[in-house]
Each structure stands twice: as structure tokens, then as C-alpha cells.
Amino acid sequence: MERLRSQGIDDLAVLHAFDVVPRHLFVPEALQLRAYEDAPLPIGFGQTISQPSMHARVLQGLELKPTDRVLEVGTGSGFQTALLAQLSAQVYSIERIAELARRARFVLDALGPLRVALRVGDGSVGWRRYAPFDAIVVSAAVVEVPAALREQLVVGGRLVAPVGTGTEQRLMRLRRTPTGEVVEDLGPARFLPLVPRATSEEAG
């Protein structure tokens, strides 16, 4: 945890979440010895699990409260999902790749009862059935935040997403206020692009 502290992570709840969620369970067995390196690791299907410092920056930027309901776009390995579950009341997570969703569900279930609803679908359209959300995290780069996600954020809610093109983006926080949106730059980021599913599911 000292490494995260040295990188500006001072939210005690976020640091505690990293203490209690075993990252090695969320990476392929062949890479488990590298699970705690501060580096992204491949998880199959051309996808990666982000480095711990990036997860920590995203989580700190969300400013989560224990009563928050969170939408996660891009379950991936499920590691960030488990961290979110430690920091909030309920997590709704969407993954476009069915096999990744299945693997993530298996590990999350093995960790014990977590308040996580997981579905396979197009995360760019959100999950209207359970909207609005106190916080939304997008785990893939977007050129701009999809309107559907902005609409599913409560007044006072926060959305964190990497915004930009190419291999480098800016990690942006959008805060919805009674009079509009406030956008803040949280620093550089590097994520794979958000790809809608070929057969997009309804957001319901």
C-alpha cells in the first residue's frame, strides 16, 4: 500500500479495499506471480487488467460512499468490480465478452457474498432498469462520454472515464450538478477503446 500512497492515493477506504481483495485471483494462473506488479496484465480476448495504481486513481476519483449504487462499464477480470463492492452499497457491472463475464462471476462468487449484479451486454447504453446511479465508471477509452451514461447519473453523481483516442487518454471526472455538468481532468491514462457489442442488448 505504500506504493499507492506514494502515488497520491490517500483515500483510506480505497487503500483498505486493496488490502482485502486478492488481485492474484483475477489474473490467469500463469501470471499470478506478477499479480501485484504495478503493470497491466493480459486476461485474454485482447483485454487487460489495469495496473493497481490506475484502479486506485479511478476509485479515488469516484469519491464513493458506502450508500452509493455504482454502474461499471467493462467488468473485465472482475478485480475492479470487487474493489467497488468493498466501497459501495451495490455494483451493477456490464461486460461485452461473455467468457470474461463468466470468469469474473466465478471469482466474485468464490470471494463470498458481494453485492454485484453482472450482465453481458453493451455497456455504452448503461443499465436503465437500475438507473439512476450515484457513480459510473467506464473501464475503456471513449472519444466522448455516451449520452446514455450521462443521463443515468443522479444529480450530485460522479462519472469517471478515460477520454481520448489512440493509446493515451485523459482520465476525466464528470460531476452532474443541478445546473449542469462539471468536468475535471484527473491526469493521463491508457486504456483500450470501448467497443460496443456486435449485437447490442437493450439497456433495460
Q: How would DSSP label each residue in 48-104? A: EEPPHHHHHHHHHHHT--TT-EEEEE--TTSHHHHHHHHHSSEEEEEES-HHHHHHH
The residues annotated as belonging to the active site are 50
What is the pLDDT, as a whole number, of residue 167?
75
Q: Mention every residue, 6+ apart, whose C-beta is less than 8 A from residue 82.
A: 21, 26, 107, 108, 111, 114, 116
What is the pLDDT, as a whole number, of residue 163?
96
Q: Report the predicted TM-score, pTM, of the whole model to 2 decimal places.
A: 0.94
> Mean pLDDT for each 10-residue chunk of the chain (204 residues)?
84 95 96 95 96 96 98 98 98 97 96 92 96 97 95 98 88 96 95 72 47
